[in-house]
Amino acid sequence: MKTLFLIRHAKSSWTDINQKDFERPLDGAGITTANEMAANLSKNTPAIDLFISSPAARTTETCKIFCRAFSFNENEIVFVPNLYEGSEKNYEAALSVVSDKHKQVAIVGHNPGITYFANRIVPNKWIENIPACGIIAVESDCTSWKDFVASPSRLLFMDYPPKDLD
């Protein structure tokens, strides 16, 4: 059995309109929300074996906050450049090469790709939008991550921060 957590990065800062999109950090509300969402997830989830993230500043910051909540070594985050502005195929490709020793994996990414990917793997539910710092948890009976997308799966939960923070 495998469990996947899809986490959209927290709210990013737009204070410097000339800043490159890739370099945009989290804003204050984003940092607060990421800490709250990470704490909530860690209360109900015993462990995450692997964190995969886009290397953009806002996803990296979000991922590190979640890593701290799970006492996961930040130096072991797997950064996948194709998740930045990536399609659902990029998310599938990143997941398909994960070692099967990992049982619970989190991917921290961006819209629209992460929402498209969620809709590909979540059965019988349409997800219009994963908001900033939203979490989708999906479980599959598969034994290999390369089979996760094609295997029957179950939506475990969707956890979104309060609307006024998105």
Residue 166: what pLDDT?
A: 43
Determine contact, residues 100/92, Cβ cutoff 8 Å. no
Residues 101 and 30: beta-carbon distance below 8 Å: no
pLDDT at 15 (0 to 100): 86
Tell me, what's the pLDDT at 6?
Answer: 98
> What fold characterizes domain 2-11+20-136+146-165?
Rossmann fold (3.40.50)
pLDDT attached to residue 123: 87
Contacts of 76 (CB under 8 A, 6+ apart): 50, 51
* In the chain, where the domains are located: 2-11+20-136+146-165
Q: Count CB atoms within 10 A of the CB of residue 143.
A: 11
Helix (H) or strand (E) holding 120: helix 113-121
Q: What is the mean pLDDT of each run of 10 residues along the chain (166 residues)?
A: 97 90 95 97 94 98 98 97 96 96 98 97 93 97 96 96 64
